[in-house]
């Protein structure tokens, strides 16, 4: 039985097929990911650069207007000119839990409860008797100077330089507040990891 031998033309056809396969593989490996990345960017398939869960303030506010004697630390703070009702109670509970969850980073963070009404401050002290929470008296004038409006209520993160940088919504339902506090804790941990200050 005679062995089959490839003629030069058959060898050229095999090389040509191999070259085409190699070219197709190269295109798939290098070009397709670039096309997919371009489509992802153009189609907004993900949030570009969003790494925080809270709302970043467009321009930081000066926390020293509210708390001139502050320590040079990070602050988790609840600020309100409203009566201390469900949302306030849940905010106090959340801040206490977040501070506890910070573990070894606790010494870098202070919690501050800032209520403009003395009656509300006293009520809040009895609601959440946690020694972790620092009650700081503030006036309505200080709130207006800082925020530009008299009615303010929210949870805020303040950096070690005294800039109010992130804000978080409040929740009347305790379970929702507990779930939302995970977002605050996540942001706080990221900020502490990135910062050498405070």
Whole-prediction pTM value?
0.72
pLDDT over threshold 70, residue 140? yes
The CATH homologous superfamily to which domain 55-194 belongs is Glutaredoxin (3.40.30.10)
- Give the C-alpha separation, 191 to 35, whole Å: 34
Q: Are 91 and 177 in contact, with CB atoms under 8 Å apart?
A: yes
pLDDT over threshold 70, residue 154? yes
pLDDT digits 0-9 by tens, 23-64:
888 777 777 777 777 776 676 665 555 577 889 998 899 999
Q: What is the pLDDT of residue 52?
A: 79
| CB half-sphere exposure, 70, CA atoms < 13 A | 29
For the chain, the first-to-last Cα distance in angstroms comes to 87
Span of 69-73, 113-117, 132-136 with lowest mean pLDDT: 132-136
CB atoms near residue 88 (< 10 Å)? 23
Q: What is the pLDDT of residue 129?
A: 58
Q: What is the pLDDT of residue 80?
A: 93
Instruction: Determine the average pLDDT of the residues in 84-102.
Output: 92
pLDDT over threshold 60, residue 78? yes
Q: What is the pLDDT of residue 19?
A: 81
Three-class SS state of 120: helix
**Sheet architecture: strand order including 163-168:** 55-62, 163-168, 153-158, 74-80, 109-115, 133-135
CA 165 to chain centroid, in Å, comes to: 10
CA neighbor of 110 nearest in space, from 60, 69, 51 = 69
Q: pLDDT averaged over the chain?
A: 85
Q: Are 114 and 66 in contact, with CB atoms under 8 Å apart?
A: yes
pLDDT digits 0-9 by tens, 37-48:
777 667 666 555
């Amino acid at each position: 039985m005679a062995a089959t031998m490839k003629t030069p033309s058959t060898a050229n056809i095999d090389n040509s097929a191999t070259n085409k396969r190699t070219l197709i593989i190269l295109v798939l490996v290098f070009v397709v990911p670039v096309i997919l990345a371009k489509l992802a960017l153009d189609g907004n398939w993900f949030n570009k650069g969003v790494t925080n869960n809270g709302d970043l303030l467009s321009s930081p506010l000066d926390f020293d207007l509210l708390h001139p004697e502050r320590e040079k630390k990070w602050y988790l703070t609840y600020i309100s000119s409203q009566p201390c009702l469900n949302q306030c109670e849940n905010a106090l509970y959340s801040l206490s839990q977040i501070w506890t969850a910070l573990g070894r980073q606790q010494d870098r963070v202070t919690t501050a409860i800032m209520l403009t009404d003395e009656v509300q401050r006293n009520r809040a002290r009895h609601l959440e008797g946690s020694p972790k929470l620092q009650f700081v008296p503030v006036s309505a004038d200080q709130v207006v100077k800082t925020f530009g409006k008299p009615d303010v209520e929210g949870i805020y993160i303040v950096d070690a330089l005294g800039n109010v940088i992130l804000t978080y919504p409040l929740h009347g339902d305790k379970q929702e507040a507990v779930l939302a506090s995970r977002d605050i804790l996540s942001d706080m941990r990221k900020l502490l990891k990135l910062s050498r200050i405070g």
